[in-house]
Amino acid sequence: MTAYVVRRLWQMIPTLAGVILLIFFLFNWVGGDPAQVLAGKISNPEQIANIRKQLGVDQPYWYQLLVFVKQVFTFDFGRSWSTNEEVSRILMTRVGPTLTIMVPVMLIETSLSVLFAIMVAYVRGSLTDRAIMVICTTAMSISFLVYIIFGQWLFGFILGWFPVQGWSESYWKNLLTYAPLPILLAVAVGVAPQLRLYRSFFLEEINQDYVRTARAKGLPEKKVMLKHVLRNALIPILTNVGIYLPGLFVGSFLLEVFFSVPGLGREIVTAVNRSDFPVIKAVTVYLAVLTMVVNLLVDVMYKFVDPRVSFK
C-alpha cells in the first residue's frame, strides 16, 4: 500500500512537469506580449519596455521558465496584473464561496441520483423506467444556460422565493439565503446525466449471478438491492464522482457569473477577459496537482470499497 502510494506520487512528477511546460508554452509563448495589452491604447515604447521589465518578459525564455517553476513551488505568483491583488490571496479568498455552493451540490446530486438510479434500475423496462429515461434525455439536451436564466427569473424575480443574486460576509447567511437557488439549479441539471449513467451501472450488476443466488436463498428484495447490488455498483460510481471532484473547485463558473458569487469560477472568467495571466496560471497549475491527488485518493479508496482490489 505505502509502496503503491509512493510509486504513484513518483509518477506524478513527469506529469506535473508537463503541465508546467504546457502552461508556460501557452502563456509565455502563444499568449504573446502582455505589455501591449496592459499598456492600453495610449502607450509609448518606453512605457511598454518598462512594463516588460516589471513583468520580467524581457528575460530569455529559460529564465522565465525558471521563475515560473519557482513560483509554483513557493506558492508565490506575485500580483494580479489587473487588480494588483496578491494572487495567493485571490485564490484563498475565492475558494470559500465556491465550496459553499459546490459541496452541497455534490452531496445532494450524488445521493439523489444514486437513489433514483437504483429505483429505476429495479423496475427496468417498465413504463416508469422508460418515461424517466425520456425525461432525462430531454432534460440533458437543454442548455445549462437556459436552466439558469429561467430559474433565476422564475424563482428569484417572479416568485421571489430567493434573492436574485448576491453574497454576504457571513457564512450561514450565504449558505441559507444566497446559496439555495444556485444549488437547486445545479442539482436539477446534474441529476439527469448521472441518473442515466448510474442506472446502467446498476443494470450491469442486477443481471449478475450473485443476485440470483441472493434471491434464491430468500433474502428480502430490499437487502438484495441495498446491500448486494449497491455495494458492487459503488466502484464505477466512485470513479465517476472522482472525475467530477476536482471540478468542485472551479465550481460552476456559470452559476457564479449569474448569481455574482465571488468564487473561483467567476474569478477565472474575469481573469480570462482581462488577460490576467498570473491568476489563470496559478489556478491551472494547482488544480492540476489537485486532480492528480484526488485521482490517487480515489484509487486508494477502491481498496476500502472493494477488498478484492489489490495494488499492483
Partner 1 sequence: MSAVLPNNAAPAVQESPGLWTLAWRRLRQDRVGMVCLVVVVVYLAMMVASFAGLVAGDWNKERGVSYANPSFLAGAENLEAREVTNRDGESRAKPVDLSDIDPLAPRYKEWEERAAKIAVTEVKRSETLPFGGDKWGRDVLKKAVKGAEISIFVGLTAAFFATLIGTVLGALAGYWGGRVNDFLEWFYNIFTSIPYILLILAFAAVFKRGLDTIIVILALTGWTGIYRLVRAEYIKHCGREYVKAAQAIGASHASRMFVHILPNASHVILVQLSQHVVSFIKAEVILSFLGLGVPVDLVSWGTMLAEAQNELVIGKWWQLVAAGAGMAVLVTAFSMLTDSLRDALDPKLK
Contacting residues toward partner 1, per CB under 8 A: 14-15, 18-19, 21-23, 26-27, 30-32, 137-138, 140-146, 149-150, 153, 157, 246-247, 250, 253-254, 257-258, 268-269, 271-273, 275, 277, 280, 283-284, 287-288, 291-292
Closer of 6 and 134 to partner 1 (Cβ): 134
Cα diameter, the chain:
85
Least distance (Å) from partner 1 to the CB of residue 153? Answer: 5
C-alpha cell at 61: 525564455
Burial 271-283 (b: 16+ CB within 10 A, else e): beebbbbbbbbbb
C-alpha cell at 151: 430559474
Closer of 31 and 180 to partner 1 (Cβ): 31
Q: At what angle do helices 180-206 and 127-141 cross, to 10 degrees?
A: 130
Closer of 229 and 255 to partner 1 (Cβ): 255
Residue 282 and residue 234: Cα distance in Å, rounded?
Answer: 34
Least distance (Å) from partner 1 to the CB of residue 250? Answer: 5
Residue 248 and residue 164: Cα distance in Å, rounded?
Answer: 23
**Residue 148: CB atoms within 10 Å:** 21
Closer of 225 and 254 to partner 1 (Cβ): 254
In the block, cell 513557493 appears at: 74
C-alpha cell at 78: 506575485
C-alpha cell at 103: 459541496
Least distance (Å) from partner 1 to the CB of residue 289? Answer: 8
Least distance (Å) from partner 1 to the CB of residue 281? Answer: 8
> H-helix or E-strand containing 12?
helix 2-24
Closer of 238 and 289 to partner 1 (Cβ): 289
> H-helix or E-strand containing 239?
helix 230-244
Least distance (Å) from partner 1 to the CB of residue 133? Answer: 11
Which residues face 79 on adjacent strands?
86
Least distance (Å) from partner 1 to the CB of residue 199? Answer: 14
Closer of 110 and 291 to partner 1 (Cβ): 291
Least distance (Å) from partner 1 to the CB of residue 18? Answer: 4
Closer of 103 and 226 to partner 1 (Cβ): 103
Q: To 5 degrees, how large is the angle CA 154–CA 178–CA 270? A: 95
